[in-house]
Amino acid sequence: MHDLLVREVDATEAPEEGGGLPRLELEVTTLWFDNCRFLSASEDLALLAKLVTLPSSKIRDLSLPGAYLNSLRNPAGLQGFQAFARQVLAPSSPLRSLDLTRVGIDSNSVAAICSALRYPSPLTKLSVGYTTRGAHSNSRLLWAWIFLAILHEDSGSGLEHLDVSGLQLQTQDMEALVAMLESPHPGKTLVLLQDGRLPVGEGCEECELPPGERLFVRLLDGSQAWTSPGYSAAWSQLLSGTLEANDFEYEVMVRLVDWLCILIPGYGFGWVVRSAVRYEVSKPSLVARMPGGRAQPSLRSLTYRGAEEQSSGVLGLLRLLGRSLISLDVPACGLNSQNLDTILHVCPNLSHLNVTCNVMTDLSPLLRAYGDGRCQIARLGVLVESINPAIAAQLQSLLMNSSNKCLERLQLEVIGQNALGNRSEQEIWCELQRAVSSNSTLRCLYLSLLSSDTHKAASTSIKPFHGQLLCYNTPLQLKISFLSVAEHDSLSSSAGLLDQMPSEARKGKKKAAKRPTASAVTSAAKPLTRVAARDSDSDLEEKPAPPPVKKTRKTAGPSAPAPAEAKRPAGHRSDQGFDLTTFMASFQPGRSGSADGPS
């Protein structure tokens, strides 16, 4: 990778007028390996960890979505991942964000990550969504690790954003997890969750830990750790390498007569003999002695997507974390309007709520929360089955109520035909249009309308006001017509897009085959500061405008277009009108030439 960057620098350097070469400095802050297949060996992860933790490294974000880590299926690969986790999550690491979405790690790998997070780790964002193998059978153990590393008061983790999409959360697991949060030494619970009982064998009688205290040990140099205690041949697996006593004070999780179960950063649990201990030290636990006095974790944002029939587990989790959250993304969790009311009560500090893909038949919980002044949600995403008169009235109240001034972005998804009763669909959308026009704080309205009739009625009624950004999930044919007349951000405001088209193309546009008329779209685009068309899986994040195209060649202005034959690509017929593909390709970053094509 270093050699690649050097080659890129050499390729972009150009001689200056004075004869010297400009000095070009690169600072890599993000590494993104999407669906990559070259991290399959343990030594690849070792090289990646070395790259991230170099003394001069500025890498803050490491994203490996869909990466193929086949080596995790064997002991050597697991040990390589454990070493990777320990290095990139160490207190001295510059890493702040780690994305392991769809990687396919197992409970041992989750233990490696969580055991490192329990110590003062600088990581603030972690994504393990849809990533755990065997999540159904090990969900309680995985959640216990997450509770231990991120949510427990004695954890040193500073994690603020967590994505655990797809991980099963059963209602019956919550009681054990809550009890673990209220214990100064929750590690013993983890061991019990793993196999149901403590290890048995010679010298394995359990000893009590100091009540209300956390016990730490320093080990002798070169101490060895084992996967399990005792002298049986079945327990003789030695962890790779030796523990470095100068790096950490290891927390004691379970103390036996001759063995100590300790928490090893980047590994999980390990067992050492008592003779390897240099000294012990006790620290007071932060766990409140009084029930209900539990402090809130540092977590501020939670994403939990696509776990159907998990509504009870989600609500139980939010009852524990809700007051600390400011952002919640829980689509497709089987939630209903009653669950929405519960969420608004247990999460009073939300500024972003996404409950799309959960069918809501009643939006009154939102109206009550805004009206009572206990809701400050600025970005809201909801899904309704249809725009019936009741839902339409609630949407109007939501947009027109003076107490809803904090609402800036609304994502509304409609999945079915509208049940209108005696009213026409056009009347309902006209009323919604009046509500939109009266709202001066709404910056973005995103409508996803699967019915073509509903889309036709909405698109002719809903117009943007006050510089709002209006987005539709539109058919492809309408998108093409829309994009062909929209102003592009890379062009100056004085020169319109239609003015820069060749005169022949404008004439051909009028003769094109029948499409949805662009006149309505053009009139809707005039008051917009920026117009966009997105797919159904888009969120409410505004995309940055493409950078202006550097024109390295002289191009003809709008008043003096070049001959049409020189501007059209080979095979272009005059009766085809404006070539949208060629036009849009000219705005690709780094491409030279004007909007009309190469001169």
Q: Residue 415's pLDDT is what?
A: 82
pLDDT tens per residue across span 510-561: 444 444 443 333 333 333 333 333 333 444 444 444 444 444 444 444 444 4
Residue, of 458 and 589, whose pLDDT is higher? 458
Return d(Cα 385, Cα 12) in angstroms, integer: 53
CATH of the domain at 198: 2.30.30.40
Q: Which residues pair with 558 in a beta bridge?
A: none
Could you report the per-residue pLDDT of 406-438, keeping only the tens digit for each? 888 999 888 876 666 556 777 888 888 888 888
DSSP annotation string for 555-597: ---TTSPPPHHHHSPTT--GGG---HHHHHHTTSTT--SBTTB
Q: Is 564 among the domain residues?
A: yes
pLDDT at 245: 66
CB 50 within 8 Å of CB 56: no
Mention every residue, 6+ apart, whose C-beta is less than 8 A from residue 479: 533
Rounded-to-integer distance, Cα 311 and Cα 309, Å: 6
Note the pLDDT of residue 418.
60
Which of left, alpha, beta for 513 (phi over 0: left; psi -120 to 50: alpha)? beta
Give the mean pLDDT of 467-487. Answer: 49
Last residue of a domain, one of 229, 250, 284: 284
Q: Residue 261: in which H helix or E strand, if any?
A: strand 259-264
User: Could you tell me if residue 536 is inside a domain?
Assistant: yes
Domain assignment present for residue 510? The answer is yes
- The number of domains in the chain is 2
CA distance to 237, 384, 440, 458, per residue, from 389 (Å): 67, 12, 24, 15
The whole-number pLDDT of residue 129 equals 86
Q: Please compute the mean of the pLDDT values over residues 443-453 and round it to a whole number.
A: 79
Rounded-to-10 torsion of CA 451, 454, 460, 462: -110
User: Is residue 327 in some structural domain?
Assistant: no
Judge whether 220 lies within some domain: yes
Confidence of residue 123 (pLDDT cuts 50, 70, 90): very high
Which range, 4-8, 60-64, 191-195, 536-540, has the best average confidence (pLDDT)? 60-64
Q: Whole-number mean pLDDT of the chain? A: 74
**In 3D, which of 262, 263, 264 has the Cα closest to residue 272?**
262
Last residue within a domain, chosen from 246, 268, 284 = 284
Residue 478 lies inside a defined structural domain of this protein: yes
Residue count of the chain: 599
- Which residue has better confidence, 227 or 455? 227
Contact 223, 245 (CB under 8 A): yes
Q: What phi and psi, each to the nearest 5 degrees, are found at residue 395?
A: -65, -40
Residues paired with 207 in a beta bridge: 255
CA distance 411 to 538: 10
Q: What is the pLDDT of residue 542?
A: 44
pLDDT of residue 351: 95
Answer whether 156's CB lies under 8 Å from 121's CB. Answer: yes
Contacts of residue 417, defined as CB under 8 A and 6 or more positions apart, other chains included, come to 386, 451, 453, 454
Domain span at 262: 187-284
For residue 45, tell me if it sits in a domain.
no
- The answer to whether residue 568 sits within a structural domain is yes
Q: Which residue has the tokens 């970005």?
A: 379
- pTM of the entire predicted model: 0.72
Measured CA distances, 455 to 203, 429, 458 (Å): 73, 10, 5
- Say whether 346 sits in a helix, a strand or coil: helix
Q: Which of 232, 259, 284 is the last residue of a domain?
A: 284
